[in-house]
């Protein structure tokens, strides 16, 4: 049967019409269009039940309470906890990163042992055996370093170190170590706490209180709460420091003064207060008065610092006439300040009668210790780590045989990083408990990764700067993602292996005991309906229902207490001021004025990956960081905008590009910290330079404390 033309056309026409009426071609086109957009490499968002659980940020030094959003049990987002007194709903860029950090490419995935220049994975049992053997052999010469200022883990670490024969238990230097030294020299008991919530006139000497100093998220909330948008502020803030930093940017006044001159400015203000009749019964007042009147008159201060006499007089007048003045002293970059400026700043509080007053300074008592043989926080803060490591490097101090490093990255986060790294090399056996492969872990013999805060029990006890005693719980909200363990458990397991009795089997027991001890502290309460600053202002503290404390902490509330440790001999430490604070001639060399920001992480976290976007291109461009100088300094040094330069100091060179920024004092080079990592992941590594390594450590006269507040640098 043939196919004639008519039949063929009929077949084609019929087929076409049929095809038009069948769904097949339309379905195929639809499928094709979906397929072209169905890119399997684009991640799908997770599905499941959404819930919220509370914990506390441990990666951020500000210690904010967090509300973690979970989907099907997996943490997704970290937000501020409105019920927590150190958060009040706010959260720093660093605390926000706690969830993403679980999957940081820099995470150490299992215990590792050094094998030549690389590391080989080992089991936890092998790690414990190795550690027990080496530490057993090193008995009598074991040192420890902790970067955790607020955790009960320090009790376990220092008790174990002591039982092994301590060569020293040190805290990484910070605002807390400087302040502790200052308080000790003043004969004070307790940790200085600043009641921003009830203060109405705040003088900030150097401290970057809204970024890196103390409880910075809470500080900002307290600042903002009394400044309704568009209305006259109910508080007044004056910032004294070398640059208009994040804090100074929102203060009512910025008074430019070198970080090295903060003590001089403070004593210059004291001169006005004394002239106006301020007095004190505290020990050493007469000597203090003589020191101030002998060299810190308005013209002395102007000659030394450039601060005009009328500016000082106005600040003194504002403080003296305020209902609740407060003076806060700290380092513009969170470390390296000597004790004397803190003493000078605290002297102003004493002259103004602000100790143990609402809106003033409370000398907060230490929370009860639970691990037998542990160092107190005050004793731990008293150690001088840079001095110790410099001594080890130079051979003046015998190198410990073993070093335990917890939550610290001294090879990156200390000044004179090159010297510190050399000192670490002299210590034959080093163990890092870091969660991330940081610069120090890379130098160690054993790396035993700590579980991250969202995977472990931990705690945050009264971070430095808090105006009240506060304790909040860090709790695991998911199982460890990698083969990691809570370091507290590892240390307790090690103690058992070495037949050392530390009273506890696991770290959760330690935390539970700590909470139980808090329930017995008189005056403590759970901040829920009443916040501690309201109690400080006179509202009655609610009673604590003891049995519910653990549950309340798990629910994200904080235990708090208002009040101060009994003071018997808090004085002016005028003899230290006389030696350490001098209204001399202004520096003629170029001085480094570093600044630090939470968005670039800490030495322990490296750069949180999603925070990299928050860094402006005037700070980091490609792999180069910028230093900031004003146009006058640029002209004097022959620098141009965008020019590549080399900074030298402490035997180290760093590259930088020049950014002209007028809010830097003449003669100062402002440089961002948090860059220039050689370890971690591709979000941190090789991005810019570590300008802290340019800072040379010097010994402060009068206190003997290591300081690096105003290092000189050379520019080429």
Partner 1 sequence: MSGHKMEFPITWGMVIDIDKCTGCGACMASCQTENNVEPQREASNKLRATSWMLVYELTNDKAFPNHDIAYLPRPCQQCGNPPCVSVCPVIATDKNENGGIVSQVYPRCIGCRYCVAACPYHVRYFGWYDPIWPEGMEKTLSPMTSVRPRGVVEKCTFCHHRWTQAKDAARVAGKDPDNLDDGAYVTSCVQNCPSGALAFGDIKNPKHKVHELVKSPYAFRLLERLGTDTQVYYISRREWVRKLGDNYLKSE
Q: Round the CA-based radius of gyration of the chain to a whole number and report it.
A: 29
Q: Does 303 help bind partner 1 (rule: CB under 8 A)?
A: no
Closer Cβ to partner 1, 37 or 568, answer by number: 37
Residue from the set 5, 6, 44, 479 that interacts with partner 1 by CB under 8 A: 44
Closer Cβ to partner 1, 362 or 683, answer by number: 683
Closer Cβ to partner 1, 377 or 687, answer by number: 687
Using CB under 8 A, which of the segments 184-192, 357-365, 523-531, 607-615 binds partner 1? 607-615
Q: What Å distances lie between residue 281 and 133, 345, 349, 350, CA to CA?
A: 56, 17, 13, 9
Closer Cβ to partner 1, 224 or 391, answer by number: 224
As measured in angstroms, the least distance from the Cβ of 263 to partner 1 is: 21
Binding-site residue total for partner 1 (CB under 8 A)?
81
3-state secondary structure of 179: helix
Do 310 and 284 touch, CB atoms closer than 8 A?
A: no
Using CB under 8 A, which of the segments 347-355, 391-399, 467-475, 616-624 binds partner 1? 616-624
Residue from the set 5, 21, 39, 566 that interacts with partner 1 by CB under 8 A: 39
3-state secondary structure of 526: strand
Q: Does 32 help bind partner 1 (rule: CB under 8 A)?
A: no
Q: Does 632 help bind partner 1 (rule: CB under 8 A)?
A: yes
Give, as ranges, the residues between 381 and 420 that touch partner 1 (CB under 8 A). none
Residue 553: name the closest of 582, 585, 586, 524 by CA.
524
Q: Does 558 help bind partner 1 (rule: CB under 8 A)?
A: no
C-alpha–C-alpha distance, residues 612 and 518, integer Å: 39
Q: Does 247 help bind partner 1 (rule: CB under 8 A)?
A: yes
| Distance of alpha carbon 417 from the chain centroid | 18
Q: Does 622 help bind partner 1 (rule: CB under 8 A)?
A: yes
As measured in angstroms, the least distance from the Cβ of 444 to partner 1 is: 24
Give, as ranges, the residues between 658 and 687 that touch partner 1 (CB under 8 A). 662-666, 681-683
C-alpha–C-alpha distance, residues 144 and 555, integer Å: 33
Q: Does 597 help bind partner 1 (rule: CB under 8 A)?
A: yes
As measured in angstroms, the least distance from the Cβ of 579 to partner 1 is: 31
Q: Does 41 help bind partner 1 (rule: CB under 8 A)?
A: yes
As measured in angstroms, the least distance from the Cβ of 642 to partner 1 is: 14
Using CB under 8 A, which of the segments 68-76, 137-145, 168-176, 503-511 binds partner 1? 68-76
Q: Does 522 help bind partner 1 (rule: CB under 8 A)?
A: no
Give, as ranges, the residues between 85 and 114 that touch partner 1 (CB under 8 A). 89-93, 96-97, 99-100, 102-105
As measured in angstroms, the least distance from the Cβ of 77 to partner 1 is: 6
C-alpha–C-alpha distance, residues 191 and 176, integer Å: 8
Closer Cβ to partner 1, 99 or 692, answer by number: 99
Q: Does 244 help bind partner 1 (rule: CB under 8 A)?
A: yes
The secondary element (H helix, E strand) that includes residue 176 is helix 175-185
Q: Is the dihedral of CA 441, 444, 449, 450 positive or negative?
A: negative
The secondary element (H helix, E strand) that includes residue 326 is strand 325-329
- Mention every residue, 6+ apart, whose C-beta is less than 8 A from residue 134: 402, 429, 445
Give, as ranges, the residues between 469 and 488 that touch partner 1 (CB under 8 A). 481
Q: Does 508 help bind partner 1 (rule: CB under 8 A)?
A: no
Q: Does 80 help bind partner 1 (rule: CB under 8 A)?
A: yes
As measured in angstroms, the least distance from the Cβ of 594 to partner 1 is: 17
Residue from the set 620, 627, 645, 692 that interacts with partner 1 by CB under 8 A: 620
As measured in angstroms, the least distance from the Cβ of 65 to partner 1 is: 12
As measured in angstroms, the least distance from the Cβ of 151 to partner 1 is: 22
C-alpha–C-alpha distance, residues 120 and 304, integer Å: 56
Using CB under 8 A, which of the segments 73-81, 330-338, 517-525, 644-652 binds partner 1? 73-81
Q: Does 26 help bind partner 1 (rule: CB under 8 A)?
A: no
Do 108 and 437 touch, CB atoms closer than 8 A?
A: yes
C-alpha–C-alpha distance, residues 508 and 65, integer Å: 19
Residue from the set 599, 628, 657, 677 that interacts with partner 1 by CB under 8 A: 599
As measured in angstroms, the least distance from the Cβ of 52 to partner 1 is: 12
Residue from the set 11, 13, 120, 250 that interacts with partner 1 by CB under 8 A: 250
Do 591 and 261 touch, CB atoms closer than 8 A?
A: no
Q: Is the dihedral of CA 664, 665, 669, 675 positive or negative?
A: negative
Do 459 and 472 touch, CB atoms closer than 8 A?
A: yes
C-alpha–C-alpha distance, residues 552 and 565, integer Å: 26
SS3 content of the chain, % helix, strand, coil (to 5): 35, 20, 45
As measured in angstroms, the least distance from the Cβ of 158 to partner 1 is: 32
The beta-carbon contacts of 220-223 under 8 Å, at least 24 apart in sequence, are: 220/90, 221/87, 221/88, 221/89, 221/90, 222/196, 222/197, 222/533, 223/196, 223/250
Residue from the set 1, 3, 32, 45 that interacts with partner 1 by CB under 8 A: 45
Q: Does 225 help bind partner 1 (rule: CB under 8 A)?
A: yes
Cβ count near 530 (within 10 Å): 15
- What residue ranges in 251-304 does DSSP mark as E strands? 253-256
Closer Cβ to partner 1, 88 or 492, answer by number: 88
Closer Cβ to partner 1, 20 or 229, answer by number: 229
Closer Cβ to partner 1, 31 or 632, answer by number: 632
Q: x/- string (CB under 8 A) for partner 1, residues 253-292?
A: ---x------------------------------------
As measured in angstroms, the least distance from the Cβ of 44 to partner 1 is: 7
Q: What Å distances lie between residue 500 and 139, 252, 269, 347, CA to CA?
A: 12, 56, 54, 45
**Pairing assessment for the beta strands 166-171 and 253-256 based on DSSP bridges:** unpaired
* Total residue length of the chain: 716
Residue from the set 177, 201, 216, 706 that interacts with partner 1 by CB under 8 A: 216
As measured in angstroms, the least distance from the Cβ of 179 to partner 1 is: 22
Q: Does 657 help bind partner 1 (rule: CB under 8 A)?
A: no
Do 112 and 619 touch, CB atoms closer than 8 A?
A: no
Q: What Å distances lie between residue 582 and 300, 514, 586, CA to CA?
A: 10, 45, 11
């Amino acid at each position: 049967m043939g196919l004639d033309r008519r039949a063929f056309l009929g077949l084609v026409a019929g087929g076409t019409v049929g095809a038009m009426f069948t769904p097949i071609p339309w379905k195929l086109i639809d499928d094709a269009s979906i397929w072209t957009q169905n890119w399997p490499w684009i991640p799908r968002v997770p599905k499941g039940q959404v819930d919220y659980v509370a914990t506390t940020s441990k990666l951020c030094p500000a210690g904010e309470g967090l509300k973690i959003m979970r989907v099907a049990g997996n943490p997704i987002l970290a937000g501020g906890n409105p019920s927590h007194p150190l958060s009040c709903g706010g959260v720093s860029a660093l605390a926000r990163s706690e969830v993403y950090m679980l999957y940081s490419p820099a995470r150490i995935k299992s215990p590792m042992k050094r094998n030549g220049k690389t590391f080989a994975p080992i089991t936890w049992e092998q790690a414990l055996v190795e550690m027990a053997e080496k530490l057993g052999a090193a008995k009598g010469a074991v040192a420890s370093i902790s970067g955790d200022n607020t955790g009960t883990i320090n009790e376990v670490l220092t008790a174990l170190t002591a039982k092994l024969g301590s060569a020293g238990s040190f805290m990484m230097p910070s605002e807390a170590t400087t302040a502790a030294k200052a308080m000790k020299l003043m004969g004070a008991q307790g940790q200085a706490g600043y009641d921003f919530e009830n203060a109405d006139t705040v003088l900030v000497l150097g401290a970057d209180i809204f970024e890196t100093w103390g409880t910075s998220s809470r500080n900002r909330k307290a600042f903002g709460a009394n400044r309704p948008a568009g209305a006259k502020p109910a508080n007044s803030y004056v910032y004294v420091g070398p640059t208009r930093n994040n804090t100074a940017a929102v203060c009512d006044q910025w008074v430019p003064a070198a970080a090295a001159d903060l003590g001089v400015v403070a004593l210059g203000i004291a001169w006005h207060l004394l002239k106006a009749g301020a007095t004190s019964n505290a020990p050493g007042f007469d000597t203090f008065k003589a020191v101030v009147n002998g060299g810190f008159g308005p013209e002395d201060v102007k000659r030394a610092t450039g601060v005009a006499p009328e500016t000082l007089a106005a600040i003194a007048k504002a403080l003296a006439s305020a209902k609740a003045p407060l003076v806060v002293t700290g380092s513009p970059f969170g470390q390296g300040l000597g004790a004397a400026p803190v003493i000078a700043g605290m002297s102003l509080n004493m002259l103004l009668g602000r100790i143990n007053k609402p809106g003033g300074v409370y000398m907060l008592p230490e929370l009860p210790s639970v691990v037998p043989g542990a160092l107190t926080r005050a004793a731990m803060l008293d150690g001088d780590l840079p001095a110790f490591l410099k001594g080890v490097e130079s051979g003046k101090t015998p190198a410990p045989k073993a070093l335990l490093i917890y939550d610290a990255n001294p090879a990156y986060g200390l000044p004179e990083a090159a010297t510190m790294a050399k000192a670490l090399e002299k210590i034959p056996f080093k163990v890092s408990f870091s969660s991330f492969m940081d610069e120090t872990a890379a130098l160690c013999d054993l790396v035993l990764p700590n579980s991250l805060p969202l995977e472990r029990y931990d705690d945050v006890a009264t971070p430095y700067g808090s105006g009240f005693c506060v304790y909040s719980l860090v709790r695991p909200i998911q199982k460890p993602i990698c083969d990691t363990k809570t370091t507290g458990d590892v240390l307790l397991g090690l103690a058992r292996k070495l037949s050392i009795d530390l009273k506890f089997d696991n770290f959760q027991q330690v935390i539970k005991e700590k909470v139980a001890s808090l329930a017995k502290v008189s005056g403590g309460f759970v901040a829920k309906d009443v916040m501690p600053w309201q109690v400080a202002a006179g509202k009655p503290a609610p009673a604590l229902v003891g049995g519910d404390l653990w549950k309340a902490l798990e629910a994200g509330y904080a235990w708090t207490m208002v009040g101060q440790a009994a003071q018997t001999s808090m004085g002016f430490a005028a003899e230290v001021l006389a030696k350490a604070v001098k209204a001399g001639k202004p520096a003629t060399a170029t001085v480094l004025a570093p600044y630090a920001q939470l968005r670039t992480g800490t030495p322990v976290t490296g750069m949180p990956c999603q925070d990299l976007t928050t860094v402006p291109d005037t700070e980091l461009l490609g792999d180069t960081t910028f230093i900031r100088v004003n146009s006058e300094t640029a002209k004097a040094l022959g620098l141009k905008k965008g020019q590549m330069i080399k900074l030298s100091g402490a035997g180290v060179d760093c590259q930088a590009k020049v950014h002209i920024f007028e809010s830097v004092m003449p003669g100062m080079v402002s440089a961002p910290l948090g860059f220039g990592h050689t370890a971690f992941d591709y979000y941190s590594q090789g991005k810019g330079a570590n300008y802290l390594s340019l800072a040379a450590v010097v010994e402060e006269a009068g206190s003997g404390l290591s300081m690096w507040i105003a290092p000189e640098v050379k520019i080429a």
